[in-house]
Structure 1
Amino acid sequence: MPYPKGHKIKVRNKIVESAAQAFRTNGIQDVSVPFIMKGAGLTHGGFYSHFNNKEQLVAEACRYAISDTIALLQKVADEENHPPPIHTVIDYYLSPYHRDNTEMGCILPALSGEISRSSEEVRQVYTHELERMIAFISNLAEIDASKGSALFSTMVGSLTLARSVNDPELSATLLSSGKQYAKELVKTLT
């Protein structure tokens, strides 16, 4: 009996979601195809009927994860009643919750260290997705892309460092300082 219409797309989407979650948490190199397929509830034998290689999956996972993050940040911005919405996004992005829940967090800080050693295809997709995120932040803050790059770099750097240290107080300070500086930066840039 053939699979129902759309089955292959649903399975592919499950694999991409599993990969995005795994890459957000563990990076690219420490995640195997069998691990991703197991996370999707599938056997690894079916991987190559959906993707040519792991690099193609990394690229798709980056696209998916950025779309997911932008949708989440837009929802956060829309739920708050106090202006400006960029402050709400900064508060969320540099929160202990976002720091601690890497599996659903922004993929950009999670992969930044590895991307420079990835294929040109992956680097191209990562670059495009970073530009999309900067455009989102810039539009939300009502600033140009150059200023949005500075703002988002501050946010990513603060989050990356807060996730990297093993001292909870230092991590909290990095988040708090990053929030304060990012909000001050918004004021000076607008």
Structure 2
Amino acid sequence: MPYTKKHKMNIRHKIVQSASQAFRANGIKAVSVPQIMSGAGLTHGGFYAHFDSKEQLVAEACKSAMESTVTRLGSVAEQASVEEKLGAVIESYLSAAHRDSAEQGCIMPALAGEIARSSDDIREVFTEEVSRFLSFVSGLAGQGEDKSIALTATMVGSILLARSVNDPELSNKILSACQADLKQRTASPVS
């Protein structure tokens, strides 16, 4: 008896989630299809019943990861007062928890360097997802596109740098200094 369409979709979702976490934690090239399938609780033989290639999976994992990040940060914003929404998102993004949980965090600092050397198809999907994040930030910031780009680039770069150093004190200083600077730059002027 063949599997139902719903069952097949659930399996595909498990594979994408496994890949999304593994790629963010270890990078795309360092993760094999058998590792991804094992992380999903499946054997690697079934991979090609769901995907044409690892590249196709990378693209879907990028979409899934960004969707997760925007959803999580959207929840953070919803819990804050109107004037504190952007500040709450900045605090959450530039937190030790985000720095220390790459496998659950934003895909931009985790994979941007590797994506830059990937295929045009993967870069196109990544570009769409970066645009999605920029729209999210722009909506919170109530500012123009340029300011949202600068804000996002600073947040992504801050996490990337904080993850890269091996001095915990310096890593914490990077997060706190960038968080304070961004919150000051984006604060509404007092009337």
- With the length of structure 2 as denominator, give the TM-score of the two structures: 0.95
Give how far 1:123 is off: 0.3
Q: Does 1:135 align with 2:131?
A: no
> Once the two structures are aligned, what percentage of the paired residues are identical?
54
- How far is the alpha carbon of 1:82 from its aligned partner? 6.5
- Letter of the aligned partner of 2:132 in structure 1? R
Q: Distance in 2 between matches of 1:25 and 1:185?
A: 31
User: Which amino acid is the alignment partner of residue 90 of structure 1?
Assistant: I
Q: Say yes or no: does 1:176 pair with 2:188.
A: no
Residue in structure 2 matched with residue 52 of structure 1 by the alignment: 52
Q: Deviation per CA, 1:96-142, whole angstroms, max 9, x where unpaired?
A: 01110111100111001101110100000001100110110111111
Deviations 1:71-92 (A, max 9, x none): 0000011122472200000000
The SS at the match of 2:83 is coil
Give the match for residue 74 of structure 1.
74
2:185 and 2:55 map into 1 onto residues whose CA distance is 36
Matches within 5 A, 1:16-95: 16-81=16-81, 83-95=83-95
Is 1:164 the equivalent of 2:164?
A: yes
Q: 3-state SS of the aligned residue for 1:83?
A: helix
Aligned length: 189
- State the 1:184 CA deviation: 2.2
Q: Give me the whole-angstrom Cα distance separating, in 1, the residues matched to 2:139 and 2:160.
A: 23
* Contact preservation (8 Å) 1:151, 1:185: no
C-alpha offsets along residues 1-37 of structure 1, whole Å, 9 cap, x if unaligned?
Answer: 3323411111111000000000111111111111000
- In the alignment, is the contact (CA less than 8 A) between 1:25 and 1:110 conserved in 2? yes
**TM-score, structure 1 as length reference:** 0.95
Residue type of the partner of 1:125? V
CA distance in 2, matches of 1:142, 1:65: 24
Query: Within 2, Cα distance between the matches of 1:116 and 1:17?
Result: 22
Shift of 1:183: 1.2
**Partner of residue 119, structure 2:** 119
In the aligned structure 2, how far is the partner of 1:148 from the partner of 1:138? 5
1:12 match: 12
Unaligned runs of 5+ in 2: none
The list of structure 1 runs, each at least 4 consecutive aligned residues, that deviate by more than 3 angstroms after superposition, is none
Specify the alignment match of 1:147 in structure 2: 147
Separation (CA, whole Å) in 2 of partners of 1:118 and 1:93: 25
| Secondary structure, counterpart of 1:84 in structure 2 | helix
